[in-house]
Every structure is written in C-alpha cells, then in structure tokens.
A and B are shown apart, each in its own frame.
Chain A
Amino acid sequence: MSSLQAKRGVLVLHNILPALALSLLLAAVFWRQPRAMSYFGVNLLLNLAIPLMFASLAQMMILAVSDLDLSIGPFVSLAASIGATLLPTRPALAMLAFVAAVAAYALAGALIESRRLPSIVVTLGLSFVWLGCAVLLLPTPGGLAPDWLSSAMAYRTPWLPMPIWMALFAAALGHVLVTRSAFGTLVRGLGGNPTAVARVGWSLVRLRAGVYALAGLFGVLAGLMLVGQTTSADPNIASRYTLVSIAAVILGGGKFVGGYVSPVGTVVGALTMTLAASFLTFLEVAPDWQVGMQGLILIVVLGLRAAIDRLERIA
C-alpha cells in the first residue's frame, strides 16, 4: 500500500517537474522585474521559445522511436534560410524545397530502419548536408522574410500573449498526435518494442519514415516561425536547437529509449530552456560568472530530472 503511494508520489513529481522548473524561473524573473508580468513582458520573455517548441516536438518524435536527431538545428536553419530567400520571391519553388526537405527526412527514417543504421550517424551526416544547402542559399547572413510571415509572428493575439497560445496549441497537437491517437500508440510501440509491432503486421520501414517525415514537418514550421521573428536569416541561426531540443524533451519527462515521451512536458521544457539560457540578465550576476552560471542552471534542472528517474526505479 505504502509502496504504491510512494510510486504515485514519484509519478506526480515526474509529471510536474517541468512545470515546477518553469514556474520557479518565471517567479524569479517576475520578482526581479515586475514589469515582465504583463502581456508585453511575457511576449518578450518567451516568444523565442515558439520555434524551439516545434523543434523540440520534432526531436520528440525521433526520441519516441528511440532514435536521436543530431540534425534538427541545422535543418531549422535551412528552413529559415529558405524562408528568407526563396519564399518571398519564388513561393512555389520554396514550397517544393520544403516538400523535398521533408521527403529527405522520411527517406532518412526509412534508411535507418531498413539498413539498421544508427540514427546518430545518419543524422550527424545529414546535419552537414543541411548546413551546406543553407550556405549555398545564403553565403553571407541576410535575406528578408516575406511580410505576411513577419506580421503573422508579430500579431497581437487576443487575451493571452502569442507564446502562451502557441504553447497550448503545440501541446494539444502533440498530445493528440502521440498520446491519444492510434498512430501515436504505434510510434511509442516502435520505440519500446519494435518486434511486437512488426509481429502484428505493421511495416516498420513505413512507420519510421512517417515519424521522420512528421519531425521534418515540425522542423520546417520551426524554421518559418523563427525567420518570421528575426525577419532575416543566417545559415547558423538555429544550430543550438539540436542540443537544446534534446534537453527540452528529456526535461519534459522523455527518455532516450523505450518510447517514453511527453508532448506537454516537451513544450514546457522548451519554454524552460529558453528562459534558463537568458534569465541571468535579470539577476545582476558578475560578468565573469555569467557563462558558468547558465551552465549550472541547466545542470541543476536536468540533474533533478535524473534524480526523479532514479527515485522512480527504486519505488
């Protein structure tokens, strides 16, 4: 009985940790700067988390099938570069480029399944392909996002600031797609026990290709949103997304193997990671300590996650 209660307690902790970390960071910011507690403030604090949420959802799809995507950062950069070069002048060609990019992702997924290749190797290789394509399109930083995209990202949403609406939307989308749908069950099955899924008669190649295609689609969305915010692109604009998106998924309660992922947690994780990297502006920390402190915050947050996972195993 008591062990069951302990188990339940740990599970609650597991689920609320991302929200808890986010609330703590937000509380610290609001305490230091009450001005941030407003429509305008929350927008400024969190709007750069919007593209990261979608990049993290892309990473979550890949982690759900027990793979790892080391190319999502450069892929988002490429999507942003297309958005700032081809999209305003030749929209049809830009759409074609996006479709080709998503198809390349799907192909990578099929290849990883059929040839039994390690995803880390394939995606690491792809990351250089994406970077190369982005540099070809945009040899020096520049370009201009189309007006409709920039104004869409600057739109003043009613009632709540845009990052909150987007977080709700992304979380709901992910939840329906991965946690509630039949497709989601299959995806998590592929991550946890591929043999069982294959024995029931599903084509693992097609399934993995589909998961990768979805990840590519999320990546394209992230790139477009990012370039809409910055209005101009750089071939390296999102390179940090690769590692930050992994951290967001893990922080949100996902695991590297076994098909355990949480879309809601991932979205909250992306918000937390965005805030963790920049909120030191609010605590006047001496310049010499700033860089180290940022790392320390991440270690503490991810360390808590590891500690809770350990508790779960014991309980």
Chain B
Amino acid sequence: MKTIVQKVLGAVAVGSLLAVQVPASAADTASKKIALSNNFAGNSWRQAMLKSWEKVTKEAVAQKVVAQAPSFTTAENQATEQAAQIQNMILQGYDAIVVDAASPTALNGAIKKACDAGIVVVSFDGVVTEPCAYRIAVDFKQLGEMQIDYFASRGLKGNLLEVRGLAGVFVDDEIHQGIGDGVKKHPEYKIVGSVHGNWTQTVAQKEVAAILSTLPTVTAVATQGGDGYGVAQAFKAAGRPLPVIFLGNRHDELTWWKEQRDASKYETMSGSIAPGSSTFAFWVAQQILGGAKVPKDMKLPLTVVTQNTLDEALKNTEPGGVVNMEYSQKDVVDFLAKLK
C-alpha cells in the first residue's frame, strides 16, 4: 500500500517538476499544427531560412512540442498566389500560420480570414499591416546605431567613413538614420565621407578607393553588410592604416577578420539579420498557442559576432553564406519575458 502511495506521490512530484521547467508553454501545444507560408525561395538567404525552419521544426515535432510544421513556398512570388495559399491553410486546419509575405498589404484579406477562423498569424521579415497579425520586424535602425555604440565602447575617437547600401531602398535609409542617431549621441565622431557600396564587396571597394585620397585619417568605418571586405581591400590597396571596420556577418568578411586577428590582433564586431529568424517566428507562434501574452509588434534581435564568437561563427557558416542562427524555445521565452 505504502509503496503505491509513494509511487503516486513520486509521479506527482516529477510531473510538477516538469511543469516548473517549462512555465511559459504551460498550455499543451502537442496537438497544434503550425504552417510556414513563404513567397519566394530564390536566393541564399531564403534557402537558409527554409533549411533552418525544417531543422528546428523537425526536432520540435519529434519532441512532441507541436504536431506538424510544414513549409509551403509559392512559385511566382506573387501576392494573389500567396493569398490563395493562406486560404488553403485555413481549410487545412492549421492552428497558426507563420508568414514571410510578398506584400505588406495585399494579403490582408486572407490574413483577416485566418484570424476570424481563430488562427494565430505571425509575420516576420516580410511583415503584413493587417492589425490582427503579429509582426516580427527587422530593426535596421538598431543595426546602424549599434555600430557607433560599439566604436564608443572601444574608446575610439575621430573620423568615420560611412558605406551605405543601394540608394533609394528603405533598408539603406533606415540603417543610415540609425548611424546618424548614433553620431548625435556620441559627438566625438564626425562622418567625413559617405559612399554607396550597394551591399556588394566589389562596388564598395571601388567607391571607397575613389574617395579615400580626399579623406583625413579614418578611425572607423560604419557599413551595412556585404561591403566590409571590399572596404578593407580599398584601404590596403591605398596603403592606409586599417580602421576598425564594422562587418556584416558574410563569410568572406569573417574569413578576412580571422586572418587579421591572427596576424595583428585586429578587433572589430559584426552584425546582421540571421535567416534563422523563421525559427524565431515559429517559437513565437508556439508560445502564443501555448497561451503566452505576446505584443503584436516585435523587433527581431540582430545576430552579432564578437571577437570571442568569431571562430565558432565562421566554422558554422558556409562559404558564400551569411552567419545563421537558429533560435531555441528558451531563446524566445527569454526574449518575451524581457519585453514585459
């Protein structure tokens, strides 16, 4: 008799222990189905994004966190096609839909239908304006501002060179504004030159080389990603001392950084958006299904590589690719807890 009571008590104890371990996903999501609606798969970022989704969700399904998490990509990157796809997902009975949208507005009708059917819609990267959906947007301003903050934390002073992206694109404007805000906050910096590197190493190298002879000593270079290696080559070719160049997580940039570090203890930092943001959105959807209170608008955390994490980041990045990061359930639970 006693032993049975002990066993039961033991089982209750184990059960409550488990419950303590995962408090944020208190409600069971094991029977829930989450689908990814993706509009485009034609570049390396999207390919990595889909791969991350598959990897993380496969594990989540195996561990019975969710029942199913398939991904669906439309053929033509067209809004009407993706709207039809989302409507089919409503019919399929998914509990949550994660969307990387072809248009911020043209899917609104379909997304409203999904919300009305009681489906949780989480948009990321390509976010949607429909108020009933959750948005995980990329904070490009932050990507600009953090560079100046980093330079300040290093105690650097003096002249900055700014390498911008493709003129007229929203992303370029946002990062540029962030850099401007950072400089306002730290008056010890002065931007002495600005060129458009178009997020391309060769263009950045050519543009920087052209302006370099007119510039005084440059202490640091603020960039937008995909351009850092080209900037370094331009400085090297001109025989100028190497400034601190903020990098953008590309494989060639990190390789160059490692070489410089090994040769001359070069120090810098690197930051960008990880394609694994799809897995971030996945866990956000899972948390909402689990009953967590989540704000409708969130900023996607940036993926940062520092001196200490360089070797690991480089090891895990394919040549020609971008540093990826797959988020775990714990990462997202912690992120959401911090928002409160």
Q: Are A41 and B109 in contact (CB under 8 A)?
A: no
Q: Annotate A75-112 by CB proximity to B: 1 below 8 A, 0 otherwise.
A: 00000000000000000000000000000000000000
| Contact between chains at B103 and A236 (CB < 8 Å) | yes
Q: Which residues of A contact B83 (CB under 8 A)?
A: 48, 229-230
Query: A236-B79, A278-B81 in contact; A287/B87 too (CB < 8 A)?
Result: no
B108 is an interface residue with CB less than 8 A from chain A = yes
Residue B75 interfacial (CB < 8 Å): yes
Which chain B residues border A281 with CB–CB below 8 Å?
35, 72, 85, 88-89, 92
A45 to B88 alpha-carbon distance, docked (Å): 6
**Do residues B106 and A233 form an inter-chain contact, with CB atoms below 8 A?**
yes
B106: chain A residues at CB < 8 Å are: 141, 230, 232-234, 237
Within 8 A of B (CB), among A214-244: 226, 229-234, 236-241
Q: Give the CA-CA distance A47 to B70 in the complex, in Å.
A: 24
If A232-B106, A278-B88, A291-B75 touch, whether A237 touches B80 (CB-CB below 8 Å) is yes
Inter-chain contact B72/A280, CB cutoff 8 Å: yes
- What residues of chain A lie closer than 8 Å to B142, measured between beta carbons? none
Is B73 interfacial (CB-CB < 8 Å)? yes
Interface: B296 (CB within 8 A): no
Whether the pair B73, A290 counts as a contact (CB closer than 8 A) is yes
Interface centre among A143, A282, A287, by most chain B C-beta atoms within 10 angstroms, is A287
Q: B92: which of A51, A233, A282 is its contact (CB, 8 Å)?
A: A282
Query: Is the Cβ of A234 less than 8 Å from the Cβ of B73?
Result: no
Query: CB within 8 A of B108: which of A230, A238, A294?
Result: A230
Residues of A within 8 A of B108 (CB): 230-232
CB distance from B160 to the nearest CB of A (A): 30
Contact assessment for A279 and B88 in the assembled complex, using a CB-CB cutoff below 8 Å: yes
Does any Cβ of B come within 8 Å of A274's Cβ?
yes
Chain B count of residues within 8 A CB distance of the other chain: 36
Residues of chain A lying within 8 A (CB to CB) of residue B41: 287, 291
Does A156 touch B at the CB level, under 8 Å?
Answer: no
A277 at the B interface (CB under 8 A): yes
Partner of A287, one of B54, B81, B93, B129: B54
Task: List the B side residues contacting A294 at CB < 8 Å.
Answer: 74-75
Does A35 touch B at the CB level, under 8 Å? Answer: yes
Whether the Cβ atoms of B79 and A234 lie closer than 8 Å is yes
By beta carbon, the residue of chain B nearest A275 is: B84
Q: Are B75 and A277 in contact (CB under 8 A)?
A: yes
The 8 A CB mask of B57-74 against A (1 = contact, 0 = none) is 000000000000011111
Closest Cβ–Cβ distance, residue A275 to chain B (whole Å): 8
- Rounded to whole angstroms, the CA-CA distance of A211 and B159 in the bound complex is 66
Q: Does A125 have its Cβ within 8 Å of any Cβ on chain B? A: no
Q: Mark A19-44, 1 if CB is under 8 A from B, else 0.
A: 00000000000000101100001001
> Any chain A CB within 8 A of the CB of B107?
yes
Interface of B with A (CB < 8 Å)? 35, 41, 50, 54, 70-76, 78-81, 83-85, 87-93, 103-110, 112-113, 129
A-B contact pairs, 5 of them (CB 8 A): A48-B83, A230-B109, A234-B106, A237-B106, A287-B73
A residues with a Cβ closer than 8 A to B are: 33, 35-36, 41, 44-45, 47-48, 51-52, 141-143, 150, 226, 229-234, 236-241, 274, 277-282, 284, 287, 290-291, 294-295
